[in-house]
Amino acid sequence: MKYLLILLGVISLTLGVLGIFLPILPTTPFLLLSTALFARSSKRLYNLLLNHKILGKYIRGFLNEKAIPLRIKIFSISAMWLTMLYVIFFVATEKLWLQLLMFATAIAVTMHILSYKTKINRHEDHTKT
């Protein structure tokens, strides 16, 4: 089981890194999944990822603030709904049970994402009046 979790963690990590460069893939959710998988399978990989110079900031930011940036919320929910609606109307056209499952999943994931606080980047105005 340990090796399966490591393999899934590496796959998730790869998708997370690709998400840095490809706007269609969300970075933080895949990195968080990798972190959770490594925490259960390899403390060495967990610590390596958490302390990574670039990737660690994504993970630590979420773990410390328990918040998702508004841009990521909008993108994640939009991409998920577009995918689910495509499956519902063009792939699973004759499978009502699958359509209902896709719809219920989209609602549940949307509620889960929205349950987190929204991280707002505040840019202070340093102009003097």
Q: What are phi and psi of 21, to 5 degrees?
A: -100, -25
Q: Distance between CA 79 and CA 18 in Å, rounded?
A: 16
Residues 28 and 46 in one domain: yes
Does pLDDT of 44 surpass 90?
yes
Q: Both 43 and 77 in a single domain?
A: no
pLDDT on residue 24: 64
* Tally of structural domains, the chain: 2
What is d(CA 87, CA 10) in angstroms, rounded to the nearest whole number?
27
**Mean pLDDT score across all residues of the chain:** 85
The structure's pTM equals: 0.61
For residues 6 and 61, state if they share a domain.
Answer: yes
**Residue corresponding to tokens 């990195």:** 31
Residue 52 covered by a domain: yes
Residues 69-119: tens digit of each pLDDT:
888 788 878 888 988 899 899 988 899 999 999 899 889 888 988 888 898
- Token code pair at residue 68: 């998702």
Residue pair 44/9 in contact by the 8 Å Cβ criterion: no
Domain co-membership, 7 together with 50:
yes
Residues in the chain, overall count = 129
